[in-house]
Structure 1
Amino acid sequence: MSFIISTGMFMSYLFEPDFGVVDLENSEVHALGSLDTAVTLTTPDDIGVLTAEIVFFEPTIRNEIVFLAGDTVTYGEVADKLEAAFGRPFKRSVWTVPFLMDEVANDPKNMMRKYRAAFAIGRGVSWPKAGTFNDRQGIPVTDVAALIASDLPGAQQDK
């Protein structure tokens, strides 16, 4: 059995301070490439559950790329979801591809800078959630709004 599972970015990684995209302390989102650049995000827990489902799926999946998605959002939408959850405005700024490529050139061993540049370019890092394995099989997954509500201190949870 051989297949590739495409998950996008670990959803929690988007909110890691070292990654620099979401700055909760300063209420800011640094969009990679543009505010309209999309990124597909999936939680590690969902990846584990979905991988088990894929391995035992009938008929057996062979020789294909299996796409998963907890959510596919633009960086502008991430800022909107943060504003809704925290009840305060989030400043939006853009880290352009040339800016990020300059950062990589100035520090070529820094993997964080390489990841930011790759996600800013946007090729192969997002796909519609509709049509993914989890969508076709009706398997519930965590979306960005749910992760914000459950994992980020200070977010308002829906009652």
Structure 2
Amino acid sequence: MSHTQSILVLGAGELGMAVLRSLARRAASSPGVSVAVLLRQSTLQSSDAAKQKDVTELRSLAIELVPGDLAAQSEASLAALFRRFDTVISCTGFVGGKGVQMKIARAVLEAGVERYFPWQFGVDYDVIGRGSAQDLFDEQLDVRDLLRAQDRTEWVIVSTGMFTSFLFEPSFGVVDLGQNTVHALGSWDNAVTVTTAEDIGKLTVEIVFAEPRIVDEVVFVAGDTVTYRQLADAVDAVLGHKARRVEWSVPQLQSELAEEPDSAVRKYRVVFAEGAGVSWDMGRTFNARRGMAVCSMEQWMRENLLASEGVSLL
């Protein structure tokens, strides 16, 4: 790793903020490392209390705030923004819609950025392949093809599985605390890999600065890999009562998606129910090989679900 390194993070949502906090800690003890974040002008000027809080925190961390709009700006305009940075880390998610991930990747290559971490913080798209229920995944493969076809810009993909919190998101419906029900996607033996946003932020920064340098590689991390049966058992153990268990079969979920084909949640349910590329063994992960502590699913549940349920451990 060169002595000086300027790093640009795209986006400051849940993952972006986690990455930025970890980068700021590293930069504080690493002379020559500087950190910036690309934010929409509307975010920088927003009167929304949550956005103001984030902007204030970013300034307190000595992170440069760079105005820009990934969806609205042209590829050439973005390339001009990216050109002065050594490393670009995209934490944008899919909110920009179709085409944005490819536009960002092309702009990074046009800018001659030394190293790129694309928005691929999720499942193993290579294993899932093209034509899955979640059509946005095809663009993730387009980005991989683009990066693999060139040798000027180094790339690193960090595969994290599902955000741990999303497994318990009411709209996703896998853990329905209101109905005291756990749903298995596809089968009780199907597994899912999950990682908290905080751990993804911490591990991504470790990967950025890892020695020997990680180049042109898909790196797998994980907070936990569990079957839906293990998930239901953990819900019972943590909350102290038996949850109802209901299996959602692949045909059932495909039928529900056909009724509402634009539903992102229903697309994700089908992909995870089919079970390919959505889990991996903990032993093969970067954090396991490095002996790094991460937050398990059950630990996350004890720290988050008990508070929401009003349960006391005392």
**TM-score, normalisation: structure 2:** 0.49
Alpha-carbon distance in 2 for matches of 1:156, 1:129: 31
Please name the residue that 1:129 is paired with: 282
Gaps of 5+ in 2: 1-153
Q: C-alpha displacement at 1:156, in angstroms?
A: 5.5
Indicate the structure with greater helix content: 2
Please name the residue that 2:175 is paired with: 22
Q: Which runs of 4+ in 1 moved over 2 A?
A: 153-157
Please name the residue that 2:185 is paired with: 32
The change in CA–CA distance for 1:99 and 1:156 in structure 2 (over 3 A counts) is: farther
**Residue type matched to 1:88 in 2?**
H
Alpha-carbon distance in 2 for matches of 1:93, 1:130: 30
**Are positions 1:85 and 2:206 aligned together?**
no
Deviations along 1:52-111, whole A, 9 cap, x unmatched? 000000001111110001000011100100110111001111110001111111111000
Please name the residue that 1:116 is paired with: 269
Larger Rg: 2
**Residue type matched to 1:17 in 2?**
P
Instruction: Tell me, yes or no, if the aligned pair for 1:86 and 1:156 is still in contact at 8 Å.
Output: no
**Residue type matched to 1:44 in 2?**
A
Tell which has more relative contact order, 1 or 2 (C-alpha 8 A, sep 6+).
1
Q: The residue matched to 1:130 in structure 2 has which SS?
A: helix
Gaps of 5+ in 1: none
**Are positions 1:67 and 2:220 aligned together?**
yes
Instruction: Tell me, yes or no, if the aligned pair for 1:97 and 1:117 is still in contact at 8 Å.
Output: yes
Alignment length, in residue pairs?
158
Instruction: Tell me, yes or no, if the aligned pair for 1:79 and 1:92 is still in contact at 8 Å.
Output: yes
The change in CA–CA distance for 1:65 and 1:156 in structure 2 (over 3 A counts) is: farther
Counterpart of 2:248 (choices 83, 86, 95) is 95
Please name the residue that 2:209 is paired with: 56
Please name the residue that 2:165 is paired with: 12
State percent identity of aligned pairs: 51
**TM-score, normalisation: structure 1:** 0.96
**Residue type matched to 2:198 in 1?**
D
Deviations along 1:3-58, whole A, 9 cap, x unmatched? 21100000000001000000112221010001111000000110000000000000
Aligned Cα root-mean-square deviation (Å)? 1.2
**Residue type matched to 1:139 in 2?**
M
